Amino acid sequence: MNRQPRLLLSVLLLGAVAFAGWRWWSGAQERAGNGNETELVISEVNPRGGTLTTSLRSEPRSFNRLVMQAVPTELFSILTQGKLVRVNRSTQEVEPSLAEKWSVSADNLTYTLTLRDGVTWSDGTPFTSADALFSFQAVYDPKAASVLTSGLLINGVPLKVSAPDARTVVVKYPAPFGPGIRLLDNLNIAPKHKLQAALAAGKFAAAWAAGTPIADLVSIGPFMLTRYESGQRLVFDRNPRYWKKDAAGQPLPYLDQVIFEVVPDQNAELVRLQSGQLDMLQQQVRPEDIATLRPLVNQKKLQLLELGVGADADVFFFNLRPAKWAKDPRGAWLQRKEFRQAISHAVDREAFANTVFLGAGVPIWGPVTPGNKNWFSPNVTRYPFSLERARALLTGLGLANRDADEWLEDEKGTEARFSVLTYRGNSSLERSVAVLRDDLKPLGIAVDVSAIEQGALVDRMLGGDFDAIFFVYSASSLDPAMSLDFWLSSGSAHIWNIAQKTPATEWEREIDQLMLKQAATIDEAERKRIFDQVQQIFAANLPALYFVAPRLYMGVSTRVGDVTPSIMRPQLLWDAEHITVRQPAPSKPASQ
């Protein structure tokens, strides 16, 4: 579907203005979200060409999105890979992608998709229905250990996929599914001709590792990786074989090149934005940096895009895998929901918002933030700040100060102490875990903090080698049925106890049943009612604790145009094919 010109809209996310020429952001501050309209100044310029430079906090450990869900891998996938259909992260509407159209059977179970004609991978190999079949095969192969599997099951059953011919894919659902065809937005298409051998050999999980030769990383997206300097940068050039065109028939993408500079430290990242070395930050501007950037906004060198309340809040959770605590006496109380409830009562969320986000945030009590207006429930159980209630809960667990030090102990003398892992170099997370440590100290709970590199943290999480973690988890969709990998106990993103064979607790079993029912329901009002129940069960048991949802501000150079932000990550580059950069005016020849 070609993107059509738009009028000024009042929508959930930041929109754009259509004009007779090309679109550009003004240097003034832009506003969006919560019903505010976006005010833009447009100038007519040629958008084609140029390089966009942005930042990346850590380098990729894999380029295979089917087996890795880290941010660098997701960004690589957005720029170089494709899907049969995609959910527009601004409008939340389903759009044709590698499939140009589809039809659905009367019972809403069978979708027949027609693939685009003439689409090729960047090495010239034709894209056909065989690639789609292969991608489903890889996702469902247990040896591949795909992180996408749980998000492509309905009632725990895989989809049935067939291909009558090279341009037709038929997908049959085992049961009704509320979000319909948008489920296929969870599937990244993999090149059969490059990865079939790895799947057949049972080595798909290791395929397209970070050391893979660039020539093997074929693209079907708007860009292709052409240079990777480990620890420094990734360079993506325009894919000359990309299939998509704009409304005027011009080939996309507009940019010649996208460069990711690997900048683990946020302070160094800010300096590069200020100096013009970066055109945009990959993540939101820290609240403490907004005042620092205001002079650049006033000089019309930078835009601060205000997107409203984010959809992804930082999350704190314990390791609730029973095996972790089998021989650790702390498990007797650390795995209890009363311990987590005590922590929730011990945190003053208003003070947390002021300390961590300088007031640019709203208190929350669950994973669904007010930014997700369709699915947010304001009626979940809340835990008001109360050290008295927190102490009563801890006493009920048998924790008391039994010696002369400042910490609580259980009846066996085991100290009330745990360690927390977080991302190194992420100031909001580092402040958050410091606030948590300080808030728990008056209760007699000791918290040991370790800030480590993102990749190492993900490894520790997946391997179950941690007491607790404070980090950010990004959902791929605002619709909860599209994030079953998080909600279901068997899911690959069920972060506190990943991929359970059977639910470890009765409340997780209940959530499983409700989420499967919610996903199978077509009526939107009934889906909302069921999901409100799920949020209430979650809030009562607190497998993960949420304190504040930040208000999002993105820093973008005024040379950058045609940005359509989203409150979902990545807020800016999800639609990289339409982004433009202002080109320097050609110099005039000297007069004779």
pLDDT in tens, 376-406: 999 999 999 999 999 999 999 999 999 989 9
- Nearest CA among 49, 60, 190 for reference residue 121: 190
Residue 589 has pLDDT above 50, yes or no: yes
- Nearest CA among 364, 359, 393 for reference residue 378: 364
What is the average pLDDT across 96-124? 97
> C-alpha distances in angstroms, 376 versus 13, 473, 479, 480, 528?
16, 17, 10, 10, 9
Q: Is 434 exposed, middle or buried (0-12, 13-18, 19+ CB in 10 A)?
A: middle
* Amino acid 69: pLDDT: 84
Residue 582 has pLDDT above 50, yes or no: yes
Q: Strands 560-561 and 361-363: what pairing?
A: unpaired
Q: What is the dihedral of CA 138, 141, 144, 150, to 10 degrees?
A: 90
Residue 217: CA atoms inside 13 Å, Cβ hemisphere, count?
28
Q: Please list the residues that pair with 422 across neighbouring strands.
A: 451, 470
Q: Strands 580-581 and 560-561: what pairing?
A: antiparallel
The one-letter amino acid code at 210 reads A
CATH class belonging to 30-59+221-309+559-581? alpha beta
The one-letter amino acid code at 531 reads F
Beta-carbon contacts of residue 295 (< 8 Å; ≥ 6 apart): none
Instruction: Calculate what percentage of the chain has a pLDDT beyond 70.
Output: 91
Question: Would you call 321 helix, strand, or coil by DSSP?
Answer: coil
Q: Kindly state the tokens that stand for 311.
A: 């959809």
Q: Kindly state the tokens that stand for 208.
A: 């397209």
- Nearest CA among 406, 404, 425, 430 for reference residue 416: 406
Per residue in 503-555, pLDDT (tens digit) is: 999 999 999 999 999 999 999 999 999 999 999 999 999 999 999 999 999 99
* Amino acid 569: pLDDT: 86
27 — pLDDT class (breaks 50, 70, 90)? very low
pLDDT averaged over the chain? 90
196 — pLDDT class (breaks 50, 70, 90)? very high
For the chain, the structural domain boundaries read 30-59+221-309+559-581, 82-206, 314-549
Helix (H) or strand (E) holding 552: strand 548-557
Residue 33 has pLDDT above 70, yes or no: no
Question: Would you call 306 helix, strand, or coil by DSSP?
Answer: strand
Q: Please list the residues that pair with 446 across neighbouring strands.
A: 417
* Amino acid 40: pLDDT: 33
Terminal Cα-to-Cα distance of the chain (whole angstroms): 50
Q: Which of 8-12, 79-83, 198-202, 508-512 has the lowest mean pLDDT?
A: 8-12
| Helical residues (DSSP H) of 397-465, grouped into ranges | 427-440, 454-463
426 — pLDDT class (breaks 50, 70, 90)? confident
The one-letter amino acid code at 451 reads A
- Nearest CA among 348, 422, 419, 431 for reference residue 382: 348
Sign of CA dihedral 299, 302, 305, 310: negative
Per residue in 128-149, pLDDT (tens digit) is: 999 999 999 999 999 999 999 9
What is the average pLDDT across 322-333? 96
Q: What is the dihedral of CA 130, 235, 89, 520, to 10 degrees?
A: 40
Question: Would you call 525 helix, strand, or coil by DSSP?
Answer: helix
How many CB atoms within 10 Å of residue 176?
Answer: 15
Give the Cα separation of 264 and 30 in Å (integer).
Answer: 27
Per residue in 464-474, pLDDT (tens digit) is: 999 999 998 77
* Amino acid 39: pLDDT: 34
31 — pLDDT class (breaks 50, 70, 90)? very low
* Amino acid 166: pLDDT: 98
Residue 592 has pLDDT above 60, yes or no: no
* Amino acid 6: pLDDT: 30
What is the average pLDDT across 33-54? 58
* Amino acid 263: pLDDT: 94
> C-alpha distances in angstroms, 568 versus 184, 309, 456, 571?
18, 10, 24, 5
Per residue in 265-295, pLDDT (tens digit) is: 889 999 999 999 999 988 889 999 999 999 9
114 — pLDDT class (breaks 50, 70, 90)? very high
* Chain position carrying tokens 């179970």: 109
* Amino acid 46: pLDDT: 57
Please give the CATH number for the structural domain made up of 82-206.
3.90.76.10
* Amino acid 591: pLDDT: 53
Residue 324 has pLDDT above 60, yes or no: yes
Sign of CA dihedral 489, 491, 496, 500: positive
Q: Which of 160-174, 331-345, 521-535, 573-587 has the lowest mean pLDDT?
A: 573-587
> Per residue, what are the HEC states of 156-192?
CEECEEEEEECCEEEEECCCCCCCHHHHHHHCCCCCH
Q: Please list the residues that pair with 112 across neighbouring strands.
A: 103, 170
Q: Is 454 exposed, middle or buried (0-12, 13-18, 19+ CB in 10 A)?
A: buried
Give the Cα separation of 312 and 371 in Å (integer).
Answer: 9
Residue 452's φ and ψ, nearest 5 degrees, are -130, 170
Helix (H) or strand (E) holding 363: strand 361-363
What is the average pLDDT across 486-511? 95
Q: Kindly state the tokens that stand for 233.
A: 């940068």
454 — pLDDT class (breaks 50, 70, 90)? confident
Question: Would you call 362 helix, strand, or coil by DSSP?
Answer: strand
* Amino acid 47: pLDDT: 73
Please tell me the CATH superfamily of domain 314-549, with its number: Dipeptide-binding Protein; Domain 3 (3.10.105.10)
| Helical residues (DSSP H) of 521-554, grouped into ranges | 524-541
Q: Kindly state the tokens that stand for 140.
A: 């469902």
* Amino acid 1: pLDDT: 40
590 — pLDDT class (breaks 50, 70, 90)? low
Q: Which of 30-39, 92-101, 196-205, 253-262 has the lowest mean pLDDT?
A: 30-39
Q: Kindly state the tokens that stand for 425.
A: 């170099």
Rounded to 10 deg, the angle between the 524-541 and 506-520 helix axes is: 160
Give the Cα separation of 395 and 403 in Å (integer).
Answer: 15
> Per residue, what are the HEC states of 228-273?
EECCCEEEEEECCCCCCECCCCCECCCCCEEEEEECCCHHHHHHHH
* Amino acid 588: pLDDT: 60
Q: Is 565 exposed, middle or buried (0-12, 13-18, 19+ CB in 10 A)?
A: buried
Question: Would you call 58 helix, strand, or coil by DSSP?
Answer: coil
CB 81 within 8 A of CB 220: yes
354 — pLDDT class (breaks 50, 70, 90)? very high
